[in-house]
Amino acid sequence: MNFGSDNQSGVSPAVLQGIVEASTGVAGSYANDHWTQAANAKLSDIFEKPVQVFFVATGTASNCLALSALVQPWHSILCHSQAHIAVDELSAPELFTGGARLVLMGDDGGKLTAQLLSDTLQKLPADRPHNQIPGALSITQCTESGQVYSVEEIRALTEVAHAAGLRVHMDGARFSNALATLECSPADITWKAGVDVLCLGASKNGALALEAVIFFDDTLAKDFDLRRKRSGHLVSKGRLFGAQMCAWLENNHWIKLAHKANEVALALEHCLKQHPAIQLAWPVQANELFAVMPTALFERLKTEGVRLNE
Amino acid sequence: MNFGSDNQSGVSPAVLQGIVEASTGVAGSYANDHWTQAANAKLSDIFEKPVQVFFVATGTASNCLALSALVQPWHSILCHSQAHIAVDELSAPELFTGGARLVLMGDDGGKLTAQLLSDTLQKLPADRPHNQIPGALSITQCTESGQVYSVEEIRALTEVAHAAGLRVHMDGARFSNALATLECSPADITWKAGVDVLCLGASKNGALALEAVIFFDDTLAKDFDLRRKRSGHLVSKGRLFGAQMCAWLENNHWIKLAHKANEVALALEHCLKQHPAIQLAWPVQANELFAVMPTALFERLKTEGVRLNE
Amino acid sequence: MNFGSDNQSGVSPAVLQGIVEASTGVAGSYANDHWTQAANAKLSDIFEKPVQVFFVATGTASNCLALSALVQPWHSILCHSQAHIAVDELSAPELFTGGARLVLMGDDGGKLTAQLLSDTLQKLPADRPHNQIPGALSITQCTESGQVYSVEEIRALTEVAHAAGLRVHMDGARFSNALATLECSPADITWKAGVDVLCLGASKNGALALEAVIFFDDTLAKDFDLRRKRSGHLVSKGRLFGAQMCAWLENNHWIKLAHKANEVALALEHCLKQHPAIQLAWPVQANELFAVMPTALFERLKTEGVRLNE
Amino acid sequence: MNFGSDNQSGVSPAVLQGIVEASTGVAGSYANDHWTQAANAKLSDIFEKPVQVFFVATGTASNCLALSALVQPWHSILCHSQAHIAVDELSAPELFTGGARLVLMGDDGGKLTAQLLSDTLQKLPADRPHNQIPGALSITQCTESGQVYSVEEIRALTEVAHAAGLRVHMDGARFSNALATLECSPADITWKAGVDVLCLGASKNGALALEAVIFFDDTLAKDFDLRRKRSGHLVSKGRLFGAQMCAWLENNHWIKLAHKANEVALALEHCLKQHPAIQLAWPVQANELFAVMPTALFERLKTEGVRLNE
């Protein structure tokens, strides 16, 4: 049994089939292929407005390239202290933005709140030109602890952010799992709630290597092709991404995969709740589960071959 | 018929099969999977010494990450004026190296020579701290015009470079095509001839998205895992690359593919030589062919559906 | 009366006289003048060992250039949450280091302790290559709140830092005020206590514009001339700095000035302690004084023409 | 006798007097002092329109900060192959612009022409997103070889530049010497002729350390205070610069100094023309003179104590 990170699992047969089909024959390079174009059209359809889409291979590239379109080097980016950009992406945010600084909020594994954001903004020193100017808010949906923001919570956050002149980025590495939990459309929980750019991750939910930077505001996407190329993220055989995305979206496959992952997590939560020695750090809201257990039990599980992340 | 760039062609069935086989089941993420480990071992075997290998998805990432391990921001990188790093990678060399400067040599499509390198080095202003310090030589094998450097030519270049304190990078986007032309081993034309780091490209010769940065000197690779992660080029499902490389190398598949591509180019050259209106810019030495033809003929070919790069 | 920042005061007559004397006649440019050479020799003398010295015009340049010699872009720099590099230098640390990240310790205005440093290091995530690697500790002497580290406190901090592989930077914008308070030599409180590089500030204690980056370890200074030039901080008429430093050090002028400033602060503290409505945030240990007073009193003082920093 | 670079000479008595007068007493820090404000007002007066002015200590900082306000990292900056930014400022242009690339034009010591600029622009590869996009033209007035551009020449260059979407930067390290040669106003040869930003140098003509970045277009200056601070170029006692500039401009002092320097150069040219063994590389148009002489003569002059730049 393996309860490691969701990036250790394989590729969904449907997505793999998409890759296989796209791998033969000649096609335009550098995203000038019909799979990429079809994927873009499909995403505009799903998000209920024309969106600007750029595919890359990793979540770090996706997040940090997106942020680089929102801020200048003298800006700060406000995010949760456990956010992936804060904890798991080395100093990629600094490299891509040319030196913008992260401001961390929230100590535990919970969600950001409009109140916390508002308080943080108020406390930040604001003596120009000596201090960073807040430039962007980054929200993770679902959070690193598996919590899901409601539409109202997102809207409250983006309202505070926009009022203070910040752009809003959503790290959606597990966006599909959040969608499966929420009763809302992709548009409702993104641009209609004030999100300026979404990093939609597929790699952790059935794809091989596929992340999409999706701009809801065309002006922000203006030079993004140059940003992507300059950082070495423009893949020559772009159909690799286009084909995965087409297959992933086809027949609501992405949402079905997310539902399944969420259900497994819920079922596991149900089981673990029976076990007196195990406590759950947070209620399961999507596909992540954080169990607190005695060291002895943890070691026994590992001995028996169960794979866990510490 | 399509005579566009070699990055427009599809994936070799053997490589695709490798991807398919690696796509099911659970595997360690971030290059901790057995395909990646097997690929690394195979490359050490092929290059006749333990090498440090890092896979990425694009040639731009491969070249510029490799260069960033060789130079400081106050160094210059000497290369041919038509080199891919000079002409096709936007300002990625500057981003990855933190601001090192390219010094261009050679006006036409030919090869660099030890004499040209030596002359260029001598003419560069060297008033510290006002001028860049030459830090690296970058050689493209085969060149952008399809020419192949002999072992002796490489050795002559690296001797001048090393004597002047420069490290040597080889852009091997079409390295396999060069190998198929030369009568030598991979080791002969790289580290035995003085190359410090090779960017071995597979994407243009049968793979889907696969470039390998191969260090022959361990000390240069010291922090390369951090460089790759920081630029967003550490793919979570690393088996994507490991599996491609295993399949590409298996049974000398890479060299066979290169031989085939070179033969097609030679056959085409033979045909074109019969045509009085067409001239070849350079003799075909690998898989690239540059034909000079009257505009009317060019337009007619396009009208008839032949795809050509201008 | 003016109680604003110490960078609002004028230039000491002795230092001004030094500038005047150095301003006539021809002299070598770019630090190749005899004032600069004399200043360097004098500093080696004062610090009891040959030191590498580089002058610049601002504290931000001094601190951030020094840090760039200690860390790589994937490193973190640990410092107090109120440190000048954290609060007053915009994103200069990121620009000069190529993207290293600050890790802030300590919430209040106090000093860093070896225990706090040790605890912080232990809690930092250390999953290579996903997390920053701690690369440097930055200590401010005197602190932003006017507190002075003892030799023992510095040594305890540098021992923890060095044991963890960190280099140690001292922001000495008010170093002379600390020296005037402590009963020790400049060497005792710097390299003998484990400091690798000192940014010695003169601008806040009698000079016009003068900061010295002083390396106690030659290997760290290796390319510093290039770092300074590349950031535009190599002044052509270097005698501007050399002459100020000669005059500032001559006859122990720098320490005398610091003593005087400290005494004024102490005298002021004595007065304020008599006033029932005023409290002092921290005891005066050097030349800074932080008074907590009722808003009405603060406003009245301003109305009467007293200049205060909020 | 000393014929070294003009940055080896001392400070004009009037400018020194300005520094002395400003050095006593309390004044606002960070450019909030009345000398800086008076200097800004005076420059707006001299340039016949409200200009945005920022003082820094070095020409490298001035040029590269100005360029950073004109271009993005994916832009190229076109300039003469002998320009100071190309030859004498290490990789500062890359650091300040975040990685923009210089495109060099012109092989000899002459001036740029509209034709050369136009031809160069036409030949540059323009395959987005693979190639840099031309973003700025940099002109040096006087050139590194001492040549002076006429108003018509500047206008012809800026017209080509603006038509191609480029902003125009003028490196005016010796701007005052050019003004003394030309029969025109400062406005005529700058913004009225299409220059967007001027780096006005005083350090080589009587000042101690003083360069002014002068924006003729307010929108370009929008975040320049942050750019200056972030690179460590905001000096705390800003009156150092303000006082120098006030004294330098007062009573047309700057132009008088330039006239004198130019006259000396012309007189020297006259002398040298008598000498059969000496040839002048270019006619003297301002304050620089480049003599070609036999090695034996050069050595004899050095032996006799004459200081020359090679």
How many other C-beta atoms lie within 10 A of the C-beta of residue C84? 21
User: What pLDDT does residue C4 have?
Assistant: 61
Residue contact B58–A208, C-beta within 8 A: no
User: What pLDDT does residue D25 have?
Assistant: 84
- Fill in the amino acid letter for D99: G
Select from C95, C223, C233 the residue whose CB has the most chain B CBs within 10 Å, as the one to mutate to test that interface: C223
Quick check: bond before B142 cis, omega within 30? yes
Residue contact A232–B96, C-beta within 8 A: yes
Residue A296 scores a pLDDT above 60: yes
Lowest-pLDDT range of A294-308, B186-200, D76-90: A294-308
More confident residue, B24 or A301: B24
Residue B310 scores a pLDDT above 60: yes
Mean pLDDT in chain A? 93
D14 touches chain C (CB under 8 A): no
User: In angstroms, what separates the C-alpha of B28 from chain A's closest C-alpha?
Assistant: 6
- Fill in the amino acid letter for C278: I
- Which residue does chain C place closest to D236, by CA atoms? C7
B19 touches chain A (CB under 8 A): yes
Tens-place pLDDT, residues C77-129: 999 999 999 999 999 999 999 999 999 999 877 899 999 999 999 999 999 99
User: What pLDDT does residue D266 have?
Assistant: 86
Query: What is the mean predicted confidence (pLDDT) over A68-91?
Result: 98
Q: Tens place of pLDDT for every residue, chain D, 310 residues?
A: 556 667 778 899 999 999 999 998 888 998 889 999 999 999 999 999 999 999 999 999 999 999 999 999 999 999 999 999 999 999 999 999 999 999 999 987 789 999 999 999 999 999 999 999 999 999 999 999 999 999 999 999 999 999 999 999 999 999 999 999 998 999 999 999 999 999 999 999 999 999 999 999 999 999 999 999 999 999 999 999 999 999 999 999 999 999 999 998 888 888 888 888 888 888 888 888 888 888 887 788 778 777 667 6
A94 touches chain D (CB under 8 A): no
Tens-place pLDDT, residues C227-242: 999 999 999 999 999 9
Query: What is the mean predicted confidence (pLDDT) over A33-54?
Result: 97
Tens-place pLDDT, residues A241-265: 999 999 999 999 999 999 999 998 8
Residue contact A91–C102, C-beta within 8 A: no
B226 touches chain C (CB under 8 A): yes
Spatial distance between the Cα atoms of B171 and C229, rounded to a whole number of angstroms: 31
Q: In this structure, which long-range contacts are made by residues B114-117, counting pairs with CB atoms below 8 Å and at least 24 apart in sequence?
A: B114/B153, B114/B156, B114/B157, B114/B159, B114/B160, B117/B78, B117/B157, B117/B160, B117/B161
User: In angstroms, what separates the C-alpha of D109 from chain C's closest C-alpha?
Assistant: 23
- Which residue does chain D place closest to C63, by CA atoms? D232
User: What pLDDT does residue C109 have?
Assistant: 75
User: What pLDDT does residue D258 have?
Assistant: 95
- Which residue does chain C place closest to D24, by CA atoms? C10
CATH 3.40.640.10 holds for C11-252: yes
- Which residue does chain B place closest to D128, by CA atoms? B90
Residue A2 scores a pLDDT above 70: no
D58: which chain C residues are within 8 Å (Cβ-Cβ)?
232-236
Nearest to C129 among B98, B129, B226 (CB): B226
pLDDT band at A3 (very low <50, low <70, confident <90, very high): low
pLDDT band at C165 (very low <50, low <70, confident <90, very high): very high
User: In angstroms, what separates the C-alpha of C167 from chain D's closest C-alpha?
Assistant: 22
Which among C2, C309, C292, C287 has a CA at the least distance from the CA of C145? C287
Nearest to B240 among A65, A95, A208 (CB): A208
**Domain limits, chain B:** 2-6+253-308, 12-252
Mean pLDDT in chain C? 93
Q: In this structure, which long-range contacts are made by residues D110-113, counting pairs with CB atoms below 8 Å and at least 24 apart in sequence?
A: D110/D143, D110/D145, D110/D147, D110/D282, D111/D80, D111/D143, D111/D147, D111/D149, D111/D153, D112/D79, D112/D80, D112/D139, D112/D157, D113/D153, D113/D156, D113/D157
User: In angstroms, what separates the C-alpha of C58 from chain A's closest C-alpha?
Assistant: 13
B110 touches chain D (CB under 8 A): no
C72 touches chain B (CB under 8 A): yes
Lowest-pLDDT range of A294-303, C18-27, D149-158: A294-303
**Domain range B12-252, CATH class:** alpha beta
- Sheet order of strands, A75-80 included: A52-56, A211-215, A197-201, A167-172, A133-140, A75-80, A101-105
User: In angstroms, what separates the C-alpha of B221 from chain D's closest C-alpha?
Assistant: 24
Sign, CA torsion D301/D307/D309/D310:
positive
Spatial distance between the Cα atoms of C186 and C207, rounded to a whole number of angstroms: 19
The set of residues, in sequence order, having a beta carbon less than 8 Å from that of C292 and lying 6+ positions away, is C278, C279, C280, C281
Tens-place pLDDT, residues A11-34: 999 999 999 999 988 889 988 999
Lowest-pLDDT range of A101-110, C245-254, D166-175: A101-110
User: What pLDDT does residue A117 have?
Assistant: 98
Residue contact A20–B20, C-beta within 8 A: yes
User: What pLDDT does residue C127 have?
Assistant: 96
User: What pLDDT does residue D301 have?
Assistant: 76
Which among D12, D60, D84, D47 has a CA at the least distance from the CA of D243? D12
Residue A292 pairs with which residues in a beta bridge?
A279
User: In angstroms, what separates the C-alpha of D4 from chain C's closest C-alpha?
Assistant: 9
pTM of the model: 0.95
Residue A206 scores a pLDDT above 60: yes
More confident residue, C191 or A300: C191
Residue contact A101–C94, C-beta within 8 A: yes
Question: Does the ipTM surpass 0.90?
Answer: yes
User: What pLDDT does residue D310 have?
Assistant: 65
B102: which chain D residues are within 8 Å (Cβ-Cβ)?
101
Specify whether the CB–CB gap between A129 and C58 falls below 8 A: no
Nearest to A129 among D72, D130, D225 (CB): D225
User: In angstroms, what separates the C-alpha of D305 from chain C's closest C-alpha?
Assistant: 14
Spatial distance between the Cα atoms of A286 and A69, rounded to a whole number of angstroms: 29
Q: Above pLDDT 90, what percent of chain B? A: 76
User: What pLDDT does residue A87 have?
Assistant: 96
Residue contact A90–C125, C-beta within 8 A: no
